[in-house]
Amino acid sequence: MSTHFGSTQPTHAAILEWVKKVASLTKPDMIFWCDGTEGEKSYLLSQAVQGGVLHPLNQKKWPGCYYHRSHPNDVARAEQHTFICTENKEEAGPTNNWTEPKKMYQKLYEILQGSMQGRTLFVVPYLMGPPQSTLSKVGIELTDSIYVVLNMRIMTRVGAVAYQQLFHENGFNRGIHSLLDCSLDRRFICHFPTDNAIISVGSGYGGNALLGKKCLALRIGSVLGKKQGWLAEHMLLLCVESPSGEKFYVAAAFPSACGKTNFAMMIPPKALQGWTITTIGDDIAWMHPGSDGRLHAINPETGYFGVIPGTSRQSNPNAMRCIEKDTLFTNVAVTLDGDVWWEGKDGTPPDNLLDWQGNPWDPKSEKKAAHPNGRFTASMYNNPMLAGEVDNPQGVPIDAIIFGGRRATTIPLVFEAFNWIHGVYIGSTVSSEMTAAAFGETGQVRRDPMAMLPFCGYNMGSYFQHWLNIGRRIATPPRIFHVNLFRKDNDGNYLWPGYSENMRILKWVIGRCKNSTGASESPIGWIPSYQDLDWAGLSEVTPEKFDQLMKIDPEEWFHELTSQGELFMKIYPTLPKELIYQRELLIARL
């Protein structure tokens, strides 16, 4: 077994010993210690192309860009194969799959025995969060997937910067990943919160294999946050700047594939001249109470792993500019001359397309050319509207938190919580129609509290209590809102135009934070009247259509409350009594 060291060699004995132990188990032909340099990137890309893992695109059209095809059964998060391994089942809670740690370690070590023979074990040291931030975390992922390495180099800070952040030898997350043969019966994504460890086998898909993303940033991160007094959340972060130069910071939680990246990269309509939005993050926020009595947040990532179908110059021009160079495309359609295409892309489909599985695609067929959960991995530094605060070790103070989901009925366009506790209740009852980002029946409505149901690493009832506890530690808490950008009329047409027009909702949110915009009390929270929103340049949404968007139907809401009750009953032993009381108040108001 040979070893390759990059420009940075670790000196931490705990790291060297752990890598040696894993190599002895998995028996790779070579150990490759990644250093994050540009020279290393060029070498890895050439090796990935040579091995057929990546395919170069037309470098004139797409400089530095490549595409990758997944195994057909490995195209989304594998929630049914994801486990939280704690000493007792109650810690994981009824919404997580659970196995006793000792038993799961034994099973995984048997699977990993000799699993990297004929392969290279890559050692990927990475930093989640800005350098020198007290909230940043170090992880080391050991993987036999060169695709994972190249993605991690985009999504995190890889190399010496990670070692420099290690304040004590054992202060890092241990992650092991092996692709195996993508067999479903040997697919496990396992989290060991007590050990700050992750083991993932049998999948190469981003959320299952890029261990810094959902695994460390959310599942392990949420447990660390509970212990240390902060929040690890599935939230975008953006900065809204008014025409007068005043800045406001907003965090928003939407379930996967519900427009989160589009929202984070929104360009305000021309009619709202002078308003600017810059992006801090599109997926994850780590939030902690600051000494100023406010909630502060950082984005722990350095890239975007975004859903690409539906992305166009109309829906998300900033994302289109992000992906113009140095981007990895996964499960998109390609042309014979090295161009890429996906449903929703600008223009008509080109001739002679190969679909995401490499087969000739017939435009008349019902099959999609790109997979509905096709992805792009692009550096956040490609974003022309990247916020200047993105690398601030202190993070940014949050003015507003927005929860949202994809609902065709019942939920109004926007409303505001009465207070922090009511806001936690609103977040705890978020629901959305399922999307292609997770296995399941697309379109089926399911509860997704705070958009965290698949990502919370401990009991959901305790997680709600942690939110309530955090609120007690903040003298000036953010205001909490809920949006539904996907409400439809009786003919199935969307009532709200979305995209850049979402700025009108954000402007009302900012106005509420400044106490300068009106609202009316309703059974579910504070709601805007038609005149409270800025309609300059938008005649499409008439007062009548706005009434449909804001309609609160008591009968529909009683069905909604029944559905909410199903989740609450599931976690009842740990459900905070404050949330039960909030539900009873809502019933009374309705």
Under DSSP, is residue 257 helix (H, G, I), strand (E, B) or coil?
Answer: coil
- How far, in Å, CA of 115 to CA of 25, rounded? 8
Inter-residue contact 184 to 150 (CB < 8 Å): no
Q: Which of 100-104, 128-132, 149-153, 436-440 has the lowest mean pLDDT?
A: 436-440
Residue-wise pLDDT for 338-356, tens only, equals: 999 999 999 999 999 999 9
Q: Is the per-residue pLDDT at 396 higher than 90?
A: yes
The whole-angstrom separation of Cα 156 and Cα 162 is 10
441 — pLDDT class (breaks 50, 70, 90): low
Which residues are marked as active site?
A: 258
CATH class of the region 233-302+388-589 = alpha beta
| Cβ–Cβ under 8 Å, residues 446 and 256 | no
Q: Identify the pLDDT of residue 439.
A: 46
Distance CA 246, CA 226 (A): 33
* Domain pair 2-53+78-224 / 233-302+388-589, same fold: no
Q: Output 10 or 147, whichever has higher pLDDT.
A: 147
Q: Domain locations in the chain?
A: 2-53+78-224, 233-302+388-589
Decide if 270 contacts 501 (C-beta within 8 A): no
**What's residue 280's pLDDT?**
98
Other CB atoms within a 10 A radius of the CB of residue 208 amount to: 26
User: Could you tell me the pTM of the whole model?
Assistant: 0.96
pLDDT for 10 equals: 78
Of 230-234, 329-333, 432-436, 547-551, give the lowest mean pLDDT range: 432-436
Domain spanning 2-53+78-224: which CATH class is it, in words? alpha beta
Enumerate residues 6+ apart whose C-beta is below 8 A from 90.
459, 573, 574
Mean pLDDT of 251-258: 87
Task: Please tell me the distance from the alpha carbon of residue 256 to that of residue 14, in angstroms, as a whole number.
Answer: 36
- SS (HEC) of 298-340: ECCCCEEEEECCCCCCCCCHHHHHHCCCCCEEECCEECCCCCE
Predicted confidence band at 23 (pLDDT cuts at 50, 70, 90)? very high
Residues 6+ apart with CB under 8 A from 538: 269, 271, 497, 501, 504
> In this structure, are residues 413 and 549 in contact, taking their beta carbons and an 8 Å threshold?
yes
Q: Residue 278 carries which DSSP code?
A: E
371 pLDDT higher than 60:
yes
Burial (Cβ within 10 Å: 0-12, 13-18, ≥19) of residue 56: middle
Contact between 403 and 416 under an 8 Å Cβ cutoff? The reply is no
Instruction: Give the whole-angstrom CA distance, residue 442 versus residue 434.
Output: 5
Question: What is the 3-state secondary structure of 339-396?
Answer: CEECCCCCCCCCCCCECCCCCECCCCCCCCCCCCCCEEEEEHHHCCCECHHHHCCCCE
Q: How confident is the model at residue 437 (pLDDT cuts 50, 70, 90)?
A: very low
Q: Which run of H or E residues covers position 526?
A: strand 526-527
- Rounded to the nearest 5 percent, the helix, strand and coil shares of the chain are 35, 20, 45
Of all helices (H) and strands (E), which one includes residue 214? none
Give per-residue pLDDT as tens, 524-538: 999 999 999 999 999
3-class SS string, 349-361: CCCCCECCCCCEC
Per-residue pLDDT at 445: 78
Interval 156-203: pLDDT, tens: 999 999 999 987 777 999 999 999 999 999 999 999 999 999 999 999
Confidence of residue 257 (pLDDT cuts 50, 70, 90): low
pLDDT of residue 229: 97
What is the pLDDT, as a whole number, of residue 443?
52
pLDDT at position 256, please?
Answer: 74
Checking if the pLDDT of 442 tops 90, the result is no
The pLDDT score that the predictor gives to residue 110 is 98
pLDDT in tens, 88-141: 999 999 999 999 999 999 999 999 999 999 999 999 999 999 999 999 999 999
Predicted pLDDT of residue 2: 82
